[in-house]
Structure 1
Amino acid sequence: MGLFSRVRDLLGTRSEPPLTADDPDLAVVAASFDPAEADSAALARAREWCEERPAVLRHHLTLPPDRFGEAATILAQDGWELREIPWPDPDSAEPGQVRVHALRVQVLDALHCAQERSRMAGLAQRLGGDSLGWDALQPVPPQA
């Protein structure tokens, strides 16, 4: 290890690789699938969530398949990625709907969770779909 690396480590300026939605170490640390639950309550009960660290905020939506592209274009303007996902149980599939995740890396707080949940619900409704809820993922800390 070079002198520069040791000084950087001592000063705490070592940068971590940026978090991505495809990080294999991600685990769900907070979630809300109850439309009546306040996002602040969901975050308050989230014992594994670290509020200082970025997280992948993941909204679970259903959309008509022919509106997927439109939704992806709208959401991409604010850094969201839209991904189609399989139904967990094929018998639960809603006719004429696809399941999607809207994903974005951000630092979470109750206000922004609530704003984005409202936005996703409005977008899904306008496009003929539904917003099912959200969860947040962060890397699992290494076991000591």
Structure 2
Amino acid sequence: MALMSSLFWTSYSEIWELSAKALHTFTGFAGGVGWTALIGLMAIKLEQKRGTVTKAIVALGQRSLSFYIFQSFLFVLILAPYAGGLGGHISQLGSDVVSVFVWVVSVIIANILHKRSIRGPFETVLRKKSTL
């Protein structure tokens, strides 16, 4: 699929294209299951050894709804053509750097909220709404 997408391999038939797409889909599912298992095993191993970084990432997970919305807002603000407009002018590497930057900022803010015992605002609203 990478060779086809990059136009490095252009003389392929429909059968090759369909085969490549099917293989791409199948290996994507298998890879997803593999990554999930690996992350689960790492979580079990690291549960007893929580350092500063692990605690900060846990804080982000505890406020996942709020930070999902926060990250979406930042991506629109930075990348969308009707906002920052950077998305149409940067490469894949540039967008990866923006993504890592947004994630790191999210982890830092989540850690600050955790240290001050502040719940995520959207989690708080969701809890109040579910008790009504």
**TM-score, length-normalised on structure 2?**
0.23
> Relative to total residues, which structure has the larger helix share, 1 or 2?
2
> Relative to total residues, which structure has the larger strand share, 1 or 2?
1
Question: Which of 1 and 2 has higher RCO (CA within 8 Å, sep 6+)?
Answer: 1
**TM-score, length-normalised on structure 1?**
0.21
Larger radius of gyration: 2
